[in-house]
Amino acid sequence: MEEAAFQITQYVRRPGTGREGRVVRVRTNFSEVITMPETNISHYDVTITPKVPQRLNRKIFNRFVEENQRELRNTRPVFDGQSNMFAFRKLQSDASTFDVELAEENVPVGRTRPPRRFTVRIRKTREIILEELFQFLNARGSMTENCNMAIMAMDILISHKIAAIYPTVRRSFYTNQGARPLSGGLEAWQGYYQSARPTRGKMLINVDLSVTAFYESGPLTQMIAKILGFRSTDDLRRGFSEGDHHKVEDFIRNLRIRDNHRTGNRRKFKIEGLTRTPVSNTMFDRGDGSNIDVGSYFQNQYNRRLLYPFLPCVVVRRNQYLPIEVCDVIPEQRYMRKLNRRQTDDMMNFARQNPNTRANKIQDGLNILNYRDNEFLQDFGMRISNEMAVVEARVLPTPTIQYHPTSRENRVRPRDGAWNLRDKKVAAGATLGSWSVLAFLNERELPDNIIEGFLREFAVTCQDTGMNIPNRRPPICRENPIGNTEESLKKAWLRAGNNAKAQPQLILCILPNTGQELYAAIKRIGETVIGVATQCVQSVHMGRPKKQYCANVCLKVNVKLGGMNSFLIPEHIPFITEKPTILIGADVSHPPPGETDKPSFAALCGSMDARASRYAATIRAQTGRFEIIADLANMVKELLKAFYQTCGRKPGRILFYRDGVSESQFRHVLQNEINAVRAACQALEPNYRPPITFVVVQKRHHARFFPMDRQNTDRSGNCLPGTVVDVGITHPFEFDFYLQSHAGLLGTSRPAHYHVLFDENGFNADSLQTLSYNLCYVYARCTRSVSLVPPVYYAHLVTNRAKLHMLSEPGGATTFGVVKQELQRVMYFA
């Protein structure tokens, strides 16, 4: 009989803190709230009519506060720019309506324009009982609606003053100090994120760096020259081609501008589009029945001879046109669309700061925020430290990695999270007998002898690394990169089979560049149409192949063919080796914002043996932006069956690492997904009930650690791999910890945040922290410890691969290719 779905009433409480590892101290980007408001806080709902943007809402609200101090009982309430207002004492009335007038900006000299009128309605919704928050922080009460509202009030309190000065996006504000130009008329602005976070016995403010793109302000001609990649605005004199017209119009539509051709009167407009005709041919009615072109009008009316008569006009209202050269882009406009590849790279370089620089910049942010002198914080009785908090951390011991016993060095204990394959053979080497090479370049671009030289080095490296390659001279095929990729791959598949007289195992594809289109087609066709593993390599690596590059390719090929690269000695993963245990990593990836017709992809990766090195994957397309894994029960069932078929035993316990869940969705996801995992077990056998542990893994957070002394710092300036923090900045009483498991390369490392929501396996802090850290050393694709537990990392790879398995049909429909059965049990996604 099927068991009824059970209800989760609370998450796992912290089973004490960890003791394992060497104790160190780290600086964090959290500041302590030294004193908290003592009186309850009143929450009011605010409605401002007519509806206007947030920035103007704040101006209206501030004017309303200035003019109505008597009704507000001499308080300075705070406001989120939308509908929430908080006051530290009750106002005269629980519901009131006020009229507010705001003078028009940019009125011409000598003229008057009536002020704009707004109505502000406020209505009290609740009294926030702060005692409940204190109970929660001291582990004597649960997270209630009152606690949520109190934390929200603090978030608005710390951002209220700064939001009136700087452009603000949700919890971040941005400044153009030190802005860096991106290509195409955009610039990257440095920002600061701040958020109130609870920890044991107190509140903290998390302050971090943030970056976003803004349109460059200044002459519109300058921006357009940059959009088109021209060297200077002089290149605009020749006018636009059809392609230029489309590109510019698409980019500047809805941009806010000011005109600059009248003294003392600079009006604001929003661009609706571009005229099809140039300035000198764009006619309009003067109002007396006669027509005139825009160029002549500006010459006659303003004595201004236009420099760019061949450019179109911007359309700002119906039948209202302005020459591009009389328009200036208004500052502080955020760019909301997707950046191109080059802009993204520039943005990443701007955002990437080494730990020392990042810590200094965060301190600069604390100085700009200047909590100490904030009069709103003072009114509410809240004091915040201007210093970054120092907390206790531990550096966990490094595990021992096992390679094949015939290796000259068959056991390795890495230093600083990295090692190499020298003198090591993979734990289980696959045999590669039936394969072919498919080069998407012609003989002139890449001669046969260069390819053969690469194949010799590759085969020797694979052999040295423990793989078996009986066929070292696979057939080489050549195809056009913009031809029919499916035909090309099928030909290469047939050549491989005919040459080796055996089922083809691999097609090694040589690509001319890093373009995504050809790569996506190869993966879609290889994995969902033909059912053969593919390995892509860039043509730039062919001449003088590097041993390290060949070794990295070898690691990927070995697991795609069912081999195993390395594993941990059993005493470092006792939870997995003492009893048949399946590790499952789960991830859901969503389509980009605005693409409402595309699905989300849910992936699970499950370990297949007692060494937790081999994984099988299962994937589903589901409704776009739906967070819960819809078909989880069937997906888990597939993995449990695969585990049984591989090991001959059922898993005696399940450790489920779930990625991509925000705090607000914890309960919803946990409730649904635990029941789905249970249902999967019972569908296989009514009495099969292995204990389950459910851990959420988060990388999208703003906690960062900075080492305080040299001996606890790696080469990149980051904390050492294995740095774990479970006190000082973690949840007041639930079981969570931060683990930085990887060695830094560039910028400041981001620790992973692990939060245990459900646990039937009786983990303590040390056992789960150590297991999670040690697993990060058996990621198949490289000889480095990684930043996330491998099952979750693999689930990421699978959801990314699934996006490539989509094919857009003529007429807009999309079909989703299913991975062929023969690849589902190997790590085709590596």
Residues 295-353: tens digit of each pLDDT: 999 999 999 999 999 999 999 988 889 999 999 999 999 999 989 999 999 999 999 99
752 with 668: CB under 8 angstroms? no
Residue 609, SS3 per DSSP:
coil
Burial of 486 (0-12, 13-18, 19+ CB in 10 A): middle
Instruction: Determine contact, residues 203/218, Cβ cutoff 8 Å.
Output: no
Residue 280 per-residue DSSP state: G
Structure-token pair, residue 82: 């939308």
How confident is the model over 760-769, as a mean pLDDT? Answer: 98
Query: Average pLDDT in the 495-521 region?
Result: 96
The backbone region for 317, taken as left when phi is positive above 0, alpha when psi lies in -120 to 50, beta otherwise, is beta
Residue labelled with tokens 């008569």: 309
- For every residue of 717-732, DSSP letters joined together read SSBPTTEEE-SSSS-S
- The number of angstroms, rounded, from the C-alpha of 84 to the middle of its chain's C-alpha atoms is 28
Q: Which residues pair with 173 in a beta bridge?
A: 168, 192
Q: Is the dihedral of CA 243, 245, 248, 254 positive or negative?
A: negative
Mean pLDDT, all residues of the chain: 95
List pLDDT tens digits, range 466-507.
999 999 999 999 999 999 999 999 999 999 999 999 999 999
Query: What is the pLDDT, as a whole number, of residue 594?
Result: 76
**DSSP assignment, residue 737?**
E
Q: Give me the mean pLDDT over the 576-601 stretch.
A: 92
**278 bridge partner residues:** 312
Residue 323 token pair? 């020459």
Domains of the chain, first to last: 218-330 (2.170.260.10), 429-561 (3.40.50.2300), 567-701+750-823 (3.30.420.10)
pLDDT tens for each residue of 683-737: 999 999 999 999 999 999 999 999 999 999 999 999 999 999 999 999 999 999 9
* 574's tokens: 């006792």
Please state the separation of Cα 774 from the chain's center in Å.
25
Closest C-alpha among 509, 474, 519, 511 to residue 495: 474
CA–CA separation, 727 and 741 (whole Å)? 17
Q: Are 712 and 355 in contact (CB under 8 A)?
A: no
Over 80: is that where the pLDDT of 815 sits?
A: yes
**C-alpha neighbours within 13 Å on the C-beta side of residue 722:** 26
pLDDT at 154: 98
CB neighbours of residue 11 within 10 Å: 22
Q: Would you state the structure tokens that stand for residue 698, as one six-digit string? A: 């988060």
Return the closest-CA partner of residue 389 out of 779, 729, 787, 774. Answer: 729
CA-nearest of 587, 533, 537 to 800 is 587
Q: Are 361 and 208 in contact (CB under 8 A)?
A: no
Task: Evaluate the omega torsion of the peptide bond into residue 312 and state whether it is cis, within 30 degrees of 0.
Answer: no
CA-to-CA distance for 381 and 37, rounded, in angstroms?
5
More confident of the two residues 597 and 123: 123
Closest alpha carbon to 119 in 66, 67, 58, 51 = 51
3-state SS, residue 663: helix
Reported as a single tens digit per residue, the pLDDT across 541-575 is: 999 999 999 999 999 999 999 999 999 999 999 99
For 525-537, the three-class secondary structure string (H helix, E strand, C coil) is HHHHHHCCEEEEE
φ, ψ dihedrals at 730, nearest 5°: -90, 180
Question: Rounded to whole angstroms, how far apart are CA atoms 761 and 656?
Answer: 11
Q: Which amino acid is at 17?
A: T
Alpha-carbon distance of 130 to 35, in angstroms, equals: 13
The fraction of the chain above a pLDDT of 90, given in percent, is 91
Model pLDDT, residue 612: 95
